[in-house]
Structure 1
Amino acid sequence: MQRLKATVATSAIAVALLCAAGSMPALAQSLNETIGSRLQANPDGDRLLVDAKEIIYDNDRNTISAAGDVQMNYQGRTLQADRVTYDRNTGRVYAEGNARLTDSSGAVVTGDRFELTDDFKNGFIDSLRVVQTTVENGRTVTTRFSSPRAERAAGETTTFERGTYTACEPCKDHPERPPLWQVKAAKIIHNNSEQTIYYEDATLEILGLPVAYLPYFWTPDPTVKRKTGFLAPRYVTSNTLGFGVSIPFFWAIAPNYDLTVAPTFLTRQGVLGEAEWRHRLETGSYNIRVAGISQLDPDAFLPSPRGPGDRDFRGSLETAGQFYLNERWKWGWDIALVSDKWFLENYHIRSESLSSIYLKESISTVYLQGQGDRSFFDLRGYYFQGLSTRDWQKQQPVVHPVLDYDKRVTPSVIGGEFGINVNLTSLSREAAQFEPLTAENRTALLGVYQTCRIFDPEDCLVRGASGTMSRASIAASWRREFIDPIGQVWTPFAYVRADNFWVSPDLDGYQNANLSNYLGGDDDYLFRATPAAGLEYRYPFAADLGTSGRQVIEPIAQIIARPNETRIGHLPNEDAQSLVFDDTSLFDWDKFSGYDRVEGGVRANLGVQYTVTGANDFYANALFGQSYQVAGRNSFRQGDLANVGLDSGLDSRASDYVGRLQVSPNRNFALLTRARFDQEDFNVNRIEATVRASFNPYLPLSTSLTYARYEAQPDIGFPRRREGLLGSATWNLTPNWYVTGSVLLDLDRYLLARENFELALATNPEAVYNPLDRAYVSSMSLGVGYIDECTTFSVKYIMTPRSISTNSGEKDRNHTVMLSLELRTLGEATISQRIAGDSSEEGIAD
C-alpha cells in the first residue's frame, strides 16, 4: 500500500482532477485515469474538484481515499465528509463521518454513511436527513425529510424508507421532541423532475400523536408554485345548504394559463359548480369565474320579493382583467352578473366586484387609465347591482361614462402651480330614488320597503333622479406661495370653473311625479360658471426648546371671493351628497365633495394650529377654527334635492367651530380626536376619538378604541342621535400564541323593532324605534390563534348584527365559529359553522 501525505501552511491540499496530465503528480494522474475514466469530460467541460487534508491510495484493495475535511464538487453537487473512499472495482463512492451532500437546488442531505455512484446521482444513505429551503410568498420555508435508510436514483428520485416529513423547526431546547406536526409514511418518494412528493401508508401526527391516516396521497414539493392536482377540500355546514364538501381540482394547462374546477356537494341543495379560468398574456392577464346550482330545496329561502325562494337555478358570471398598453397606459375591466341579489352571500362565492363601504353591492366597471409625471387620466363606466333586499334595481344608476383628467404645470412667467381639472359624468336610471325625512312617508313597493312614492320636498329627499343626466366640468386654477422677510407666508390663488348640464328626466316613470317642478320639466341644457380669487395667510412662530424639541404656533386666515351659486335645488345632485365639515375641510377652497354642487359667495376661514415635536418621538398637534359667510348667498343654507348643506354646521353665517387634537408621546401610543362644536352654545355636534396603544416590550398587548357621536340631523334624514364605541385588542400570549377580539357597541339606545316589523310599520310608524335603557352590542368577534414557521391555526367567533333595516331578510343575529388550519407546504382547511338556531343568511327562511 502506498500513502501520500501533503501538508501546506493551511494543512490542506486541493487536487484538481481531469486537468492536464503533465501538471499533476503521479498519484493525481492515477486518480484521473480511474475516476476520470468514468466521469468522462462532458460537453460542458465539468471538472471534479477534491479538497482534503490527506489522500490515500490502496493498491491491495484497489481503492482511493480522501480524509480530513473532504470536499468534492462535481456538476453543481458538493459532497462533504470526514472520509471519502472510491472503490475502483465497483465504481462506488463511500462517504462516512458527518457526511453531507448539497445539490444544485440548495437542498442539503446529511447522513451517517453515503454509498453513491461516482457521479453522486445514485446510491444509498443511512440515517438520512434532508433540509431544503425555498421562498414562498416572500417568506423563507424550510422543509425536512428524515429516514433510517434512503435510496437515491439518477439524481432525481429519493426514496425514504419509514420516512418523515415536516416544515417545522426542531425545538431548540429539546430537539429530541417531535415537531408540532409531521407526516410519517412507510415510504416517501421525492421526485425532483416531477417536483412531487408521494406518500404511501401515511399518518399525520400533531405533537407526536396520530390524528389522520391516508393510504396514499401526493403533494407538490415546496419549490412548486403551481401544479396540476387536487387542492385542499372545503367543508360547508349550514341550516339552508345542509352539510357539504368542496373538492377543488387545479389544472395547470400551460405556464401562462390554468383552470380550477370546484364542485361542492350539498346535502340539502344539491351540487354547486364553480370554475375559474386564468390566463396571463404578454401585456396583462384576465380571469373568468362561473358558479351555478339547480337548487333541490328553494323553500329554504324567503319567498320573493324578500328572498330567492321562487328560484330553482341560481348562478353568477364574473370576469376581471388588466392590460398595459405601455408604461403609462393601462385598461381593464371587472364585470359581474348575478342571477339574484342573495346568491353570492348565500353560497359564499368569492367576488372581486363586491363593495360594502356603506351597503353591500356589486360594482362592474370597464376603465382606461393613464399616468404622467404630473398628470392623471381615468375613463370608466359603472354598473351597480344592489345586494340587499331593500334595493330596487331600477333605482341603481348606470354610469356611461365618468372621465377625470388632472394636469399640473409650473408656468415660467408667473411661477407657482397651474392646474387644470376636467370631469365628465353621464348616467341614467329608470326610477327616481327617494328617501323619507320622517317614518310616516314609508310605503311598501313589491313587498320591499320604499319611501316617498310621491315626491314632496318637505318630506322627501331625492338621492337620484330618473332619466339621463350628463355634466361636463372644467376648472383651471393657479396658486403661488410667497414668504416675506419676517417669515409670513402669503399664498394668493384663483380658479374658474365652468359646468354644462344636460338633464333629461323621465317624468313618466314610476315614482317620478312632481319632479318636473324641480328639474325643469323637459330636456334642459344648463350652463354654470364660477370664477374665484382668494388669499391664504400663515405666520408660523417657532420656538426652540433645546434638547426637548421645538414648538410652532401658526395663525391661519383664508378668504375666497366668488359669485353666488345658481339654480340650487333645480339641478340633480349625484356626486356631492357627502358633506362633512371638520378640521380636514376647514381650508378647502370648495367644501362640497363633488362637481354637482359648487360653493358660492364670499367666505372667510380662520384657524390657529399648534405643533410640538420633542425627544423620544414625542409629537402633538392641535387645530381650532371657524368659517364665516362674509357676503353673498350661503350655499349651505339652501338645500338641494338631497338637502345637502343643511345641518352641516356651515348653514349659518358663522359656522360651527371645528377642532383637532393629536398627541403621540412615543411610538407606542397615539390619540386623535376631532370635533365640531355648536357656534351658539358650544355643544358637541360631532365628535370622533381614537386611541391606539402598544405596550411592547413591557406587555405584549396592542389595542385601539374608537368613539363616535353625531347629533341628530333631521333635515338630511337622521332624526335621532347616532353614537357608538368600537374596541379591539390583540394580546400575544407567547411568541406564537395570541388572542384577539373586537366589539361594536350601539350607544344611541334606539333599535329597530325586530318582531312584526311590517305590522308596526303600517299601523304605527313611530313605533319602529324602541328606546333601550342600555348599550346594545351590535357586533362582536373573539379569536385565538397560533402561528409559527410551519403552522397557522385560528378559531374565531363572530356575531354580526341583525340588519332587518338594510339587509335582506336576516331575522336575527348571525353567530358563526370559523376554524382555519394551515400546515405550510402540505395544505390548509377552513370550516365555518353557524351555532345559532335562527336564519343566518340573507334571504333565508326559518
Structure 2
Amino acid sequence: MPRLALILLLWLWPLSLAAQAPATLLADRVTVPPGSDRLVAEGNVEVVFEGTRLSAARITYDRAADRLQITGPIFIRTQAGEVLTAERASLDPRLENGLLRGARLILDDRLQLAADRIDRVGGRYTQLSRSAATSCKVCDDGRPPLWDIRAARVIHDQQARRLYFENARFRVRGVPILWLPRLRLPEPGVSRATGLLIPQLRTTDQLGPGLKLPYFIRLGDHRDLTVTPYLTPESATLEARYRQAYLRGEIEVSGAMTRDSLVGGTRGYFFADGAFHLAGGTRLRFDVETASDDAYLLDYGIDDSDRLDSEISLSRITDREMRRARLTVYQSLRAAEDNDRLPPVVAEARGERRATPAIGGTLSYGAGLQGHLRTLDAGPDGLGDALRAGVWADWHRARVTGPGLVVETRTGLRLDHYAFSPDALARDTTRATAQAAVTLRYPLIRQGPRAAHVLEPVAQLAWSDTTGGPVPNEDSSTAEFDVASLFALSRFPGEDATETGPRAALGLTWTRRGRDGLNSRLTFGRVLRGAENPAFTRTSGLDGTASDWLVAGALDTGSELGLRGRALIDDDIAVTRAEALLDWRTDRLTLAAGYIFLPEDAEEDRSGAVREITLDSRYRVNERWAAGLDMRYDLADGEPSTAGLELGWRNECITVDFSVSRRFTSSTTVQPTTDFGLVVGLDGFSAGRTGAGAARRCQD
C-alpha cells in the first residue's frame, strides 16, 4: 500500500499541478505497465477536482502527451452544473479541452443536446457537431420527441450562458416546420437575455386574428426594453415596455401606438410608475396613466379600468409622525361622465404627529390642505374650484377597571376654512367641529378544550357639533356602514360632511380561536341618533334616527378556506345591502368568489339595483391538464357581464395555454366582443419554471 500510494502521487503530480488543486482518483485497479509512461485506472473509476466529478470504466493517463484517454460509459458533472455523457473521450487533465465521441450534454437537468462529437475548448466553449437539442424525454424505441432542434453545429458559451445554432431546423414529431440559418438562445435558467420571447396569438371580433412577437432587449444588469409588434387585419400596433432598477428605487414605463380601422387615426396609451427611497426616510412615488380614447384599453385587452389616475406623492412615516403630499389627475373613461367636472385635478398635503401628554393617553394633532380644480366653469350643480385648509387635535385614552371593564375616552376639535372660486354657488366659510365619545367594552373569555371563546359587548355614547356655514359635500357622497365604522366618531369617508348631535352605537362580537386552526368571528351592531342626518343616502343603512342592523361574519381555516360576509338588515328583516367573499385553496383547486347586492339609489349614481356574482377559479385536473374559469354574472339583469375560460396543457418540455373571454356589456364607446388567445412555450429554454409536467412514457 505505501508503494501504491507513492506511485499514484508521482503519476498524478502533473495533473494536480495543472489543476492548481489536489486531485482525487478512485478505482478498483491502478497499474503502471513496465517500461511505459502511462498510468491505467480500471473499474468504477472516479476523478474529483475543483468541483468537477468524472466517472468512467477506464482512464489512461499519458504523462508524455499530458492526455487522458477515457473509455465509457463516461459521466462528467462540472462545477457549473453541466452534465456530459459519452462513449469515449480524449481530454486534457483539467477536462477543459478535448474531444468526446457519441456524447450528450445536459444543461440544468432539463435541456439535452446529443451530438456525434463534442469538442471542449479553453474551458469556456463546448462545440457540438451534428447535434439535436430537446427538453422532451427521448425513448429508445425510435420515435422522435415531441419537438427538437437539429443543427449542423451548436456552440455553448459557458461564460455568456448562450447557445448558438447553425443551420437549425425546428421539428415537431420529426417533421421540419421551420429553418433558420442562425439561432441564438439562452441556456436554461437565464431570466434576462436578449432575444425573441414566446409569441402570442390573439383573435377578437373587432380586430380579427392577430400575432404578437415580443422581443426582449437586455440593456444591462439593471434595465431592459421589450418591444412587441402586434399585427391584425384591422390594425397595426407597436407596444413597448422599459424597466430600470436603481439603488434606491425602480421605474417601469409602458405604452403603445396603434393605427386601426375601428376609430381611424392614431390611438394609444401611456403608463408609467416608479418608487424611490429618498434621504431621511422619505418615499417618492409616481404613477402616470393616460389613453387616447375611452375604448382603447378594452379594445386591446390592456386594462378594464373605467377611470385612470395619474399621481405623484411624497410621504414620510415614522412611529410618531406622518407627512404626505400628493397631486392626482383623473381621466374618466365612462361614457356618461364629464371628465371636466370630476374634478380632474386634486392636490393634498397633510401632516400628523402623535405624543403622550402628562395626563396619559395619546394626543394626535396635525394640519392639512386640500384643493380640487375643474377645467370648466361651474355648471347647473354650482360646483366650482375649492380649497380647504384645516387643523385638528384628538386625544384618546383606554384603561381597564378592576372588574375587567375597558373604558375608552376620546375627544377632538377640528377647524376648517373653505375657499371657492367666484363661479361656484358656495361662499367662503370657516367651520369648527367639536366631538367627544365614551366607549365601554366588557370582554368575557372562556377557555375550552378545543377553542377559546370571547364574547364582547360594546356600547358607545358620542356627541359632536359644528359651527359655521354649509359647504358642498364632494368627498363623502358614499358612506360605508361596516365593522370598521361601527364605533367611529364619523362614518363619513371624507371631511366635507360631518355627524352632529348625540348618538349611541351598540355592538356584540363573538370570536372563536380554535387550536386546530379554525377561527370564526360574528358581529352585530346598530347606531342610534337623536336626529336624522340628510347627508346619509337612503341605501347607506345609516339614514334615519336608527340605522339598519349590521351583521358581519368571518370564517378562517388557515391556508384552505376563508369566508367574509356583511349584511345590513332593516327593522322589517329585509336585507338592504350585502356582500360576501369566499377564498378556497386546495392542492388542486383555487377558487375566489364574491357576491354583492346594492339597491337602486340615484344619490349614489345607481340607476338600477346591483346584484352580481364574481368567480375566479383554477382547477388542476392532473399533472398535464389544468382549467380556469372567471365570470361576472349580473343577477339583476339575468345575464353575464364577462366570462372567460382557460385551458392549459403541459409536459416536461412544452406548455400550451388557450383562453377565450367574452365581454357582454356595451355602451356608446365599447361593444360586446369575444377574445381568443393561444400561447405555446418551449420550457427547455425558459426561466422561472415552478415545476415540470408529466413526462412522456417510453414503451419497452
Q: Do Structure 1 and Structure 2 share a fold, with TM-score over 0.5? A: yes
* Greater Cα offset, 255-264 or 579-588: 255-264
Paired residues for 1:649-798 under 5 Å: 649-664=541-556, 668-679=560-571, 681-693=572-584, 696=586, 700-749=588-637, 775-787=638-650, 791-798=654-661
Q: Which runs of 5+ in 1 are unaligned?
A: 7-12, 14-24, 134-140, 302-307, 434-452, 456-461, 508-514, 750-774, 829-846
Alignment counterpart, residue 504 of structure 1, candidates 407, 411, 421: 421
Residue in 2 aligned with 1:479? 396
CA distances 1:650-702 after superposition (whole Å, capped 9, x unpaired): 221111111113345676444433211113x22211122344445x57xx445
Picking from 518, 527, 534, the partner of 2:437 is: 534
- The alignment's C-alpha RMSD in Å is 3.5
d(CA) in 2 for partners of 1:689 and 1:376? Answer: 34
Superposed counterparts of 1:287-366, under 5 Å: 287-289=252-254, 291-293=256-258, 295=259, 300-301=261-262, 308-309=263-264, 312-326=265-279, 328-348=281-301, 356=305, 360-366=306-312
Is 1:155 the equivalent of 2:123? yes
Aligned AA for 1:367?
S
State the alpha-carbon separation in 2 of the partners of residues 245 and 702 from structure 1. 30
Aligned partner (choices 451, 459, 482) of residue 557 of structure 1: 459
Note if contact 2:189-2:686 (Cα within 8 Å) is conserved in structure 1: no
Which residues in structure 2 correspond to 1:21-420 (within 5 Å)?
25=6, 28-32=9-13, 34-35=14-15, 39=17, 46-53=20-27, 54-67=29-42, 69-74=44-49, 76-133=51-108, 142-167=110-135, 181-204=147-170, 208=173, 210=175, 212-216=177-181, 217-235=183-201, 237-238=203-204, 241=207, 244-269=210-235, 271-289=236-254, 291-293=256-258, 295=259, 300-301=261-262, 308-309=263-264, 312-326=265-279, 328-348=281-301, 356=305, 360-399=306-345, 401-409=347-355, 411=356, 413-420=358-365
- Equivalent position amino acid for 1:101 in 2: I
Corresponding residue number in structure 1 for 2:478: 578
8 Å Cα contact 2:631-2:640 kept in structure 1: yes
Instruction: Give TM-score, length-normalised by structure 1.
Output: 0.73
After superposition, the C-alpha distances for 1:443-484 in whole angstroms (9 at most, x for unaligned) are xxxxxxxxxx744xxxxxx8xx23x21112333222222122
Instruction: Indicate conservation of the 8 Å contact 2:215/2:227, yes or no.
Output: yes
Measure how far apart 1:116 and its partner are: 1.0
Match of 2:523 in 1: 623
Deviating more after overlay: 489-498 vs 103-112: 103-112
Using the alignment, how far apart are the partners of 1:291 and 1:670 within structure 2?
A: 39
**What whole-Å deviation, never above 9, does each CA across 1:123-143 have from its counterpart, x for those lacking one?**
22234343333xxxxxxx843
C-alpha change, 1:280 and 1:170, in structure 2 (3 Å) is same
Number of aligned residue pairs: give it: 685
* Counterpart Cα distance in 2 of 1:196 and 1:628: 72
Residues in 1 aligned to 2:267 and 2:473: alpha-carbon distance in whole angstroms: 36
Deviation of 1:122 (Å):
1.5
Query: What letter is aligned with 1:497?
Result: R
Amino acid at match of 1:815: T
Q: How has the CA–CA distance of structure 1 residues 620 and 275 changed in structure 2, closer, same or farther, with 3 Å as cutoff?
A: closer
**Displacement after TM superposition at 1:266 (Å):** 4.6
Of the structure 1 ranges 733-742 and 818-827, higher mean CA displacement relative to structure 2 is found in 818-827
Describe the shift of the 1:332–1:617 C-alpha distance in structure 2 as closer, same or farther (beyond 3 A).
Answer: closer
Distance 1:143 1:494, change over 3 A: farther
In structure 2, the CA distance between the partners of 1:243 and 1:659, relative to structure 1 (3 Å rule), is closer
- 2: CA distance, partners of 1:161 / 1:740: 44
For residues 489-528 of structure 1, the aligned pairs below 5 Å read 489-505=406-422, 507=423, 516=425, 519-520=426-427, 524=428, 526-528=429-431
Change (3 A) 1:492 1:179: farther
**1:248–1:260 Cα contact (<8 Å) kept:** yes
* 1:726-745 per-position Cα deviation (integer Å, ceiling 9, x unaligned): 34443321134222223332
Q: Any conservation in 2 of the 1:123–1:152 contact (CA below 8 Å)?
A: yes
Q: Distance in 1 between matches of 2:245 and 2:504?
A: 55
Judge conservation of contact 1:276–1:290 (CA < 8 Å) in 2.
Answer: yes
Change beyond 3 A, Cα 1:98–1:425: farther
Q: Secondary structure at the match of 1:155?
A: coil
Contact 2:399/2:408, CA 8 A, preserved across alignment: yes
Instruction: State the AA in 2 paired with 1:373.
Output: D
Closer/same/farther in 2, CA of residues 477 and 183 from structure 1, 3 Å limit: farther
CA contact (8 A) 1:402 1:423 kept: yes
> Whole-Å Cα distance in 2 between the matches of residues 266 and 666 of structure 1?
47
Conserved? CA contact 2:479–2:491, under 8 Å: yes
Q: 1:221 and 1:501, CA in 2 relative to 1: closer, same or farther beyond 3 A?
A: same
Q: Amino acid of the residue matched to residue 411 of structure 2? A: A
What is the CA–CA distance in structure 2 between the aligned matches of 1:786 and 1:548, rounded to whole Å?
A: 44
Cα separation, 1, equivalents of 2:312 and 2:683: 37
**Within 2, Cα distance between the matches of 1:180 and 1:416?**
71
Shift of 1:102: 2.9
**What TM-score, normalized by structure 2, do the two folds share?**
0.87
Q: 1:375 to 1:182 in 2, by over 3 A?
A: farther
Q: Is the 8 A contact 2:315 2:324 kept in 1?
A: yes
Match of 1:428 in 2: 373
- Flag the 1:169–1:529 CA change in 2: closer, same or farther, 3 A: farther
Going from structure 1 to structure 2, the CA distance change for 1:254 and 1:708 (only over 3 Å counts) comes to: closer
User: Would the alpha carbon gap of residues 168 and 576 (structure 1) be closer, same or farther in structure 2, given more than 3 Å must change?
Assistant: farther
Matched residue SS, 1:610: strand
Specify the SS of the correspondent of 2:32. strand
The 1-side partners of 2:162 and 2:522 are apart by: 61
Q: Distance in 2 between matches of 1:536 and 1:211?
A: 78
Quick one: structure 1 residues 224 and 553, their matched pair in 2 at CA, closer, same or farther if it must change by over 3 Å? closer
Secondary structure at the residue paired with 2:9? helix
Q: What 5-or-longer segments of structure 2 have no aligned partner?
A: 688-700
CA contact (8 A) 1:355 1:363 kept: no
Q: In 2, Cα distance between the equivalents of 1:394 and 1:110?
A: 71
2:98–2:121 Cα contact (<8 Å) kept? yes
Task: Tell me, in whole angstroms, the C-alpha distance in 2 between the residues paired with 1:702 and 1:35.
Answer: 57
How many percent identity over aligned positions? 25
Worse overlay, 815-824 or 600-609? 815-824
Taking the aligned partners of 1:84 and 1:48, their CA distance within structure 2 comes to 18
1:131 to 1:601, Cα distance in 2 relative to 1, 3 A: farther
Change (3 A) 1:528 1:554: same
CA contact (8 A) 1:676 1:686 kept: yes
> Larger deviation: 728-737 or 242-251?
242-251
